[in-house]
Amino acid sequence: MSDLKKQILSAVEDDLQAIEQELVTNLTPHLALVRKVASHILFSGGKRLRPLLMVLAARICNYQGNYDKTFSTIFEYLHAATLLHDDLIDGARLRRGRLVAHSVWDNPTAVLVGDFLLARGLAIAAETGLPQVIKVIAHITEEMSQGEIHQLQRKKAFDLTEAEYMEIIRRKTAVLFQGACRISALLAEATPVMEAALADFGLHLGMAFQMADDLLDYTTDSAVLGKQVGADLKEGKLTLPVIHALANAENGVREEMIAVIGDPGFSTTQFEKLVQQLASLGGIDYTWRLAHQHIQKAKDALHLFPATETRQIMLDIADYALSRKL
Amino acid sequence: MSDLKKQILSAVEDDLQAIEQELVTNLTPHLALVRKVASHILFSGGKRLRPLLMVLAARICNYQGNYDKTFSTIFEYLHAATLLHDDLIDGARLRRGRLVAHSVWDNPTAVLVGDFLLARGLAIAAETGLPQVIKVIAHITEEMSQGEIHQLQRKKAFDLTEAEYMEIIRRKTAVLFQGACRISALLAEATPVMEAALADFGLHLGMAFQMADDLLDYTTDSAVLGKQVGADLKEGKLTLPVIHALANAENGVREEMIAVIGDPGFSTTQFEKLVQQLASLGGIDYTWRLAHQHIQKAKDALHLFPATETRQIMLDIADYALSRKL
């Protein structure tokens, strides 16, 4: 584990424990099967980044209430719901090194438990009693489903542009980070300026997080990743490293790359060559550079808050988003 | 068309037109594909019973605002979301005589557009700005997914009891009817007594509606039903006519029935014999009787409202729930 990760984990140990407890307590299904399937995805080594961000954002706004940890579960439940549906849609086999829920159980169960988790997240949002909070969360779920549909619709679309990629990852990933940070400001009755700053922090962190995630497919091996390397490509999912490389490739090379990408049965040798091409055409570096820019914007957004320990942890998490190996 | 249906339709013509318009206006997806898939399920001859009940319940509470039709879309969007997911789960091929969405497009698209419609319903609920309304709706979505999971989990369970069946249909169907009627009372700021009466009306109507729906599988032919007859049984879905008949069957007959039900490849002749057995063992009559009792309770719940035209339409709809052919 990196020093940065150790440092963050030690600073937020109590928060993470409290979040973990709330995730168990607030699940409240009627059926044992629902708890079992939901727990399979919820308690399988997730980082709890989204609820943690909410708790920290509440603290930086000087929130004095007792409900930050309870409401932070909304973001993990919504996240877990999308993972259940996405794994099914992507035909994934492994997540975090474990068999996915639709393989352990079946597709219908994964769909319906995903629906339950989505509903549960919104039900907890409703318990805030704050219409503004509920609106933000309902809107997030709309955006997320549309981001996923957009991505699905544009699988194997070799003309996918950078702008379209940005739109997809904003919806499917960044709006949830943004919401987690923004909701805290609403709960804490912080100023609109603080609310906007935290929303910016979450949005940019989320964008960078997804870009770093997309890079992992080309920079990490299977054992570390806990899933198949090259999985994005096998699903026809074009991410920024590929989009940028394709845009920079000369004719001939471009066609060669497309031939590999278009064939889900590509060999390890073909994949390794493709990764080299992505690198030499600048796709990897460019993606890192943009991710770094987003992290810088995220960190800049926190300037208006006093230099507390909480702010430092949030800045550290922003740096960690780029250094993580999985 | 029956006289009763004609009479209802003529009385609510303007309401239905307004609801139809709101269903188009409030969909607001970013992507053309989402509108296409959502429209396939939304605009395919649905009866709009749930939004209509909400509009009528608002009127009976003397609601004076302008938002009843807008908010009534919540119930149709949630309903459409569950249809998309249920058709997928059940492996259905036809709905209302048309190919289901997951056959026209694919499973991932059906899952994600279902998620979008669920989210859209909750987003519109959030726009009421009334935490109590939002709580009820979020709770409904939790209940519905759990009703479906319960049903899924107990497919081909020949020991399914009547009580368990009631619990399943309450969650998967009746809570949405109940919510549609109850929300109106909250919008109209009606008394708690009125709210409870409308909730009762919706609950019992929903229970009877599902029982009548389950009976259609044994009393109607494919052309009228718009889907395969015997579909419930082929999916291993045990409904009250079967549960009651199995409970009353002597050994030997019971085993014979179970052998047919347990084999999704049963022939038309086998199915017709089974239907005769359900009838002679009282399963059909018993289900009708219970459905009638629920309709009576639904109608009784409206006694406390003055005898207006609106009340009469609601009473007529209750009667129609049992007379409908599809």
The proportion of chain B whose per-residue pLDDT surpasses 70, expressed as a percent, equals: 97
Give the CA diameter of chain A. Answer: 62
CB within 8 A of B137, min separation 6: which ones?
A: A126, B74, B78, B121, B122, B125, B179, B183
Q: What are phi and psi of A99, to 5 degrees?
A: -60, 140
Instruction: Please tell me which of the candidates B111, B120, B123 has its beta carbon nearest to residue A111.
Output: B111
B2-21 pLDDT, tens digit per residue, is: 889 999 999 999 999 999 99
Query: Can you tell me the mean pLDDT for B108-130?
Result: 94
**Cα(A100)–Cα(A88) distance, integer angstroms:** 8
Q: Does pLDDT of B191 surpass 90?
A: yes
Distance separating the N- and C-terminal Cα atoms of chain B: 11
CA A107 to chain B, closest CA, distance in angstroms equals 8
Q: Do B138 and A126 touch (CB under 8 A)?
A: yes
Instruction: Please tell me which of the candidates B109, B115, B130 has its beta carbon nearest to residue A118.
Output: B115
Q: What are phi and psi of A94, to 5 degrees?
A: -125, 145
Instruction: Please tell me which of the candidates B120, B134, B150 has its beta carbon nearest to residue A126.
Output: B134
Instruction: Identify the H or E element spanning A313.
Output: helix A309-323
A3-12, A150-159, B88-97, B246-255: segment of lowest average pLDDT: B88-97
CA A16 to chain B, closest CA, distance in angstroms equals 26
Rg (CA), chain B: 20
B85 at the A interface (CB within 8 A)?
A: yes
CA A187 to chain B, closest CA, distance in angstroms equals 15
pLDDT at B44: 87
pLDDT at A234: 86
**Cα(B167)–Cα(A275) distance, integer angstroms:** 54
**Cα(B178)–Cα(B206) distance, integer angstroms:** 7
User: What chain B residue is nearest to A30 in terms of C-alpha separation?
Assistant: B146
CA angle A234, A84, B42 (to 5 degrees): 100
B161: left (phi over 0), alpha (psi -120 to 50) or beta: beta
Q: Do A138 and B126 touch (CB under 8 A)?
A: yes
For A83, A229, A276, B190, the CA distances from A256, given in Å and listed in that order, are 33, 20, 13, 69
The ipTM of this complex is: 0.92
DSSP codes joined into one string, A44-83: SS---HHHHHHHHHHHHTT--SS-HHHHHHHHHHHHHHHH
Query: Can you tell me the mean pLDDT for B205-230?
Result: 81
pLDDT at A93: 85
Instruction: Identify the H or E element spanning B218.
Output: helix B192-219
**What tokens appear for B153 in the block?**
């989990």
**Cα(A77)–Cα(A45) distance, integer angstroms:** 14
Q: Do A116 and B29 touch (CB under 8 A)?
A: no
Distance separating the N- and C-terminal Cα atoms of chain A: 11
**Cα(B208)–Cα(B231) distance, integer angstroms:** 20
B131 at the A interface (CB within 8 A)?
A: yes
pLDDT band (50, 70, 90) for residue B276: very high
pLDDT at A228: 65
Residues of chain A with pLDDT under 70: 221-229, 325-326
Q: Do B85 and A112 touch (CB under 8 A)?
A: yes
CA angle B128, B131, B136 (to 5 degrees): 90
Residues of B whose CB is below 8 A from A34 = 146, 149
A152 at the B interface (CB within 8 A)?
A: yes
For A268, B61, B117, B255, the CA distances from B27, given in Å and listed in that order, are 45, 27, 8, 49
How many alpha carbons lie under 13 Å from residue B50 in its C-beta half-sphere? Answer: 26
What pTM, to 2 d.p., does this model score? Answer: 0.94
CA A261 to chain B, closest CA, distance in angstroms equals 21
Query: Can you tell me the mean pLDDT for B120-143?
Result: 94
Angle, to 10 degrees, between the axis of helix B240-248 and the axis of helix B192-219? 70
Residues of B whose CB is below 8 A from A129 = 131
Give the CA diameter of chain B. Answer: 62
Query: Can you tell me the mean pLDDT for B124-139?
Result: 93
B146 at the A interface (CB within 8 A)?
A: yes
State the best of B134, B141, B235 to mutate against chain A, taking most chain A CBs within 10 Å. B134
Residues of A whose CB is below 8 A from B126 = 131, 134-135, 137-139
CB within 8 A of A296, min separation 6: which ones?
A: none
Yes or no: say if B69 and B19 are a contact pair by the CB < 8 Å rule: yes
B50-71 pLDDT, tens digit per residue, is: 999 999 999 999 999 999 999 9
Query: Can you tell me the mean pLDDT for B304-322?
Result: 96
Instruction: Name the 3-class secondary structure at B99.
Output: strand
Looking at chain A, the number of H-run helices and the number of E-run strands are 18, 2
Domains defined for chain B, CATH in brackets: 3-323 (1.10.600.10)
Q: Does pLDDT of B223 surpass 60?
A: no
**Cα(B44)–Cα(B95) distance, integer angstroms:** 9
A31 at the B interface (CB within 8 A)?
A: yes
B157 at the A interface (CB within 8 A)?
A: no
Rounded to an integer, what is the distance from CA A257 to the centroid of its chain?
28
A149 at the B interface (CB within 8 A)?
A: yes
Mean pLDDT taken over chain B = 93
Burial of residue A31 (number of CB atoms within 10 Å: 0-12, 13-18, 19+): middle
A33 at the B interface (CB within 8 A)?
A: yes
**Cα(B120)–Cα(A143) distance, integer angstroms:** 10
β-bridge pairing A98-99 and B94-95: unpaired
pLDDT at B224: 58
**Cα(B201)–Cα(A163) distance, integer angstroms:** 51
A150 at the B interface (CB within 8 A)?
A: yes
Instruction: Please tell me which of the candidates B112, B127, B152 has its beta carbon nearest to residue A108.
Output: B152
Instruction: Name the 3-class secondary structure at B95.
Output: strand
pLDDT at B95: 85
B150 at the A interface (CB within 8 A)?
A: yes
State the best of B112, B116, B167 to mutate against chain A, taking most chain A CBs within 10 Å. B112
Number of Cβ atoms within 10 Å of the Cβ of B215: 20
Instruction: Please tell me which of the candidates B89, B134, B153 has its beta carbon nearest to residue A33.
Output: B153
- Per DSSP (E only), the strands in B17-76 are none
**Cα(B3)–Cα(B319) distance, integer angstroms:** 12
Collect contacts of B22-30 with beta carbons under 8 A, ≥24 apart.
B22/B51, B22/B69, B22/B70, B22/B72, B22/B73, B23/B48, B23/B51, B23/B73, B23/B76, B23/B77, B26/B70, B26/B73, B26/B77, B26/B120, B26/B124, B27/B77, B27/B120, B28/B120, B29/A146, B29/B116, B29/B120, B30/A146, B30/A150
Rg (CA), chain A: 20
